[in-house]
Every structure is written in structure tokens, then in C-alpha cells.
Amino acid sequence: MPLKIGSLIDSRYRITARIGHGGMAEVYEANDMINRRTVAIKLIREDVMNNPVNLVRFKNEATIAASLNHPNIVKVFNHGTVDGVPYIANEYIKGQNLKEVLDFRSSLPIEEAMDYMIQLASALSYAHKHGIVHRDVKPDNLYVMGDGTIKLGDFGIAQSEQKKENHDVESEIVGSVHYMAPEITAGKSATAQSDIYSAGVTFYELITGHVPFNKEKAVDIAVAHIKERFPSPKIYLPNCPKEVEHIIFKCVKKNLKERYQNADELYNDLIDLKNNPNAFKEKKGIFSRIFGFK
């Protein structure tokens, strides 16, 4: 059911433009007549709504994301229905997601990527402390604002610890296989540490332009995350500082006891590295130091 430009939703949201569409929803720009701000209206597609699991996920995003208020999380202001079709009124994000940025730039400088990762770690810390596991952390779901702020969005398959037992789709393995923690692929429940694993894969992709395991079949990628050694970013980025490599490797440890225990630990390591200017200086070999060779 496409919305017409100029139509009014719930006597509040005046539709001004159609922004685009995703796998789940049509997205519109609208004016909030009460709070006098621009919002994004996500309206679930009718063909998608026919699947009850999709309907649960859409409503899940509305209720879970609406409970979170953090500068690095896309804010959900409101939700309701239009002629029986659910919608979500989101903070309006004017910019690209990080996947689109990578498609254009191939990879990002380490310091820029670190800045995004610090913001992501802050968002995850906040969500986890409120009992929410995102379960789909990846560049596609990280939106870049004009001032360099990033915002984590798309909480459609997020999991509330309080409602875990009653969730209709918990028995399914959901998420994006390139970023999925091995314990999830093995059939275990997602935890905050699963999001940290996905964050580590995201960091790897931001600085190298590649995902760690890129095989033809999804099942082979999933098995690789379980069984294969996680590749070093130095394969694609020979000058990658060892401190950055260490952070990525600690994010993606297959043994949960060796992985970051929470997002605060990841955040603190990123901040410490950001405040260490020597970490990003070009390392010179012994002949270069003695004889001045480049």
C-alpha cells in the first residue's frame, strides 16, 4: 500500500517524499506536525507482512528500538498502523550506511575506522546494559551522518533478554553469515559477546575492504567462522599496527573466555589506542633507521 505524497498519518505525520525501500519496508520522509521535525516513516511492505515471522520482526524493531535513547543509535519516536499496516517513525538519517561508503571508497583509513568503532562500542555498551542484543551488527546497519557521527539501526532481529523465552523467532539462526559469531552458527543463543564478534568483523572490513571469509556458499562461510583461523588484516593491509590487529583478534576469539567480555572493554582499548599517537606512525626497518632508506 504505497503512501501518497501529502497524505497524513495518524493526524501527525505529513508524507513529503518517498526515500526508497528495503527488504522489509518502504521508507518515506515526513514532517512531524506536532514536534516540528523531519522523520522517516518505515511502512512494512504488504508482501512481506504476509509472513508472520516478518511481522514479528518489524514489531520487534518498533518496541525494542523505541526503548533505547543513545546518540549512536537510530531513535524510534513512535509506531502504529496505517489501514492495518504497521509503520515506524524513525529519526531521519541523511547520509549513507558504511557498506555504501565502502562500496565507493573500498576501505577506510585506520583512524577514521577507529572513530566509527569507538561510537559503535558505545552504542553496543548502552544496548547491552539495557538487556538488548542487536544480532545483526554490520556496515549495512551503521549510518554515517554529515558530521561523522554514526548510528546503529535496524533492530528487527534484536533480542531482549527479558523476553527471550517468549520470542517467536528465537529458535531460528538469524543474522548475516559474514558477520555471525561461531556460537550462533553452532545453534547457541546470541549474547553481548556475539555482537562484539560482529563488531570485530566490521572493523576488519572497514580497514581492509574485505570480509574475513568470502566463500560461494553461506554454509561454507559459517563453517569457516567456526573452524578456520581468523585471517590477519595484514594480508590486505601490511602496515596495519599490531595494536589494531590485537583488538580485532580479541573481538573474534572463538573461545568466549578469550573474547572481550563486554563492549566497555572494547571501548576502553579503542580509546587507549586513539590516545597513543605513536601507534599510527610508520614503522621503519633497521636499515631505514641506520642509513635513512625509505
CATH of the domain at 147: 1.10.510.10
Q: Are 125 and 217 members of one domain? A: yes
pLDDT value for 172: 52
| Domain count across the chain | 2
Q: Of the listed 32, 136, 154, 195, which one is catalytic?
A: 136
User: Which range marks the domain in which residue 55 is found?
Assistant: 8-91
pLDDT for the residue numbered 171: 45
pLDDT value of residue 52: 86
> What is this structure's pTM?
0.88
Does one domain contain both 128 and 144?
A: yes
Low-confidence ranges of the chain (pLDDT < 50): 165-171, 294
Q: In the beta sheet, which residues pair with residue 79?
A: 88
**15 and 74, same domain (yes or no):** yes
Per-residue pLDDT at 293: 53
Q: What is the pLDDT of residues 9-53, one digit of tens each?
A: 999 999 999 988 767 789 999 999 999 999 999 999 888 888 888
- Helices 242-251 + 263-274 axis angle, to 10: 170
Q: What is the structure's pLDDT at 187?
A: 87
- Domain identity same for 200 and 236: yes
Last residue of a domain, one of 56, 91, 126: 91
Residue type (1 letter), 104: F
Question: Are 21 and 125 members of one domain?
Answer: no
- Residue 140 is a catalytic residue: no
pLDDT tens figures, 69-106? 999 999 999 999 998 899 999 999 888 999 999 999 99
Average confidence score pLDDT of the chain: 88
Write phi, then psi, for 5 (nearest 5 degrees).
-60, 130
Instruction: At 30, list the grid cell.
Output: 515526513
**Residue that has been written with the C-alpha cell 546494559 in this structure:** 129
Q: What angle do CA 29, 34, 38 make, to 5 degrees?
A: 25
166 and 186 within one domain: yes
What is the reported pLDDT for 166?
44
> What's the rounded Cα separation, in Å, for the pair 137 and 206?
13
Q: Letter for the amino acid at 283?
A: K
Look at residue 3 and tell me if it is in a domain: no
SS3 per-residue string spanning the chain: CCCCCCCEECCCEEEEEEEEECCCEEEEEEEECCCCEEEEEEEECHHHHCCHHHHHHHHHHHHHHHCCCCCCECCEEEEEEECCEEEEEEECCCCCEHHHHHHHHCCCCHHHHHHHHHHHHHHHHHHHHCCEECCCCCHHHEEECCCCCEEECCCCCCEEHHHHHHCCCCCCCCCCHHHCCHHHHCCCCCCHHHHHHHHHHHHHHHHHCCCCCCCCCHHHHHHHHHHCCCCCHHHCCCCCCHHHHHHHHHHCCCCCCCCCCCHHHHHHHHHHHHCCHHHHCCCCCHHHHHHCCC
Same domain, 193 and 270: yes
What gap in Å lies between CA 121 and CA 127, rounded to an integer? 10
Is 162 a member of any domain?
A: yes
Same domain for 275 and 155, yes or no, is: yes
Q: Can you give the pLDDT at residue 278?
A: 78
175 & 213 share domain? yes
Residue 290 lies inside a defined structural domain of this protein: no
Answer whether residue 175 is part of any domain.
yes
Residues 140 and 47 in one domain: no
